[in-house]
Structure formats: C-alpha cells, structure tokens
Amino acid sequence: MHWSFISNICNKISKQQRYVYMQLNHLFILQLLMVLQ
C-alpha cells in the first residue's frame, strides 16, 4: 500500500512535468516562428 501511494504521487508529478514541458516547448516554437517571419 505504501509503495503504491508513492508511485501514485510520482506518476502525478511526472504527468505535471510532462505537461509543463509541453507548454514550454510550445512557447519556444511560437517564439521561433515569430523570429523567422
């Protein structure tokens, strides 16, 4: 039970990190497009 609780938290954190990373990536691409225009 204890380990599944920890892995559950880790899973949520990794999902959040992936989401944040995707957002940052998106912003970065938008910046590049603006510069290239």
Confidence at residue 14, expressed as pLDDT on a 0 to 100 scale: 92
Confidence at residue 24, expressed as pLDDT on a 0 to 100 scale: 94
pLDDT in tens, 1-37: 577 988 999 899 899 999 999 999 999 999 999 998 8
Q: Which amino acid is at 37?
A: Q
* Secondary structure element (H or E) that encloses residue 4, with its range: helix 2-36
Dihedral, CA atoms, 24, 29, 34, 37, nearest 10 degrees?
A: 180
Nearest Cα to 14, choosing from 29, 27, 6, 25?
6
Q: Which amino acid is at 20?
A: V
The boundaries of the domain holding residue 5 are 1-37
Q: Is this prediction's pTM over 0.75? A: no
Confidence at residue 1, expressed as pLDDT on a 0 to 100 scale: 57
- How many structural domains are present in the chain? 1
Confidence at residue 3, expressed as pLDDT on a 0 to 100 scale: 76
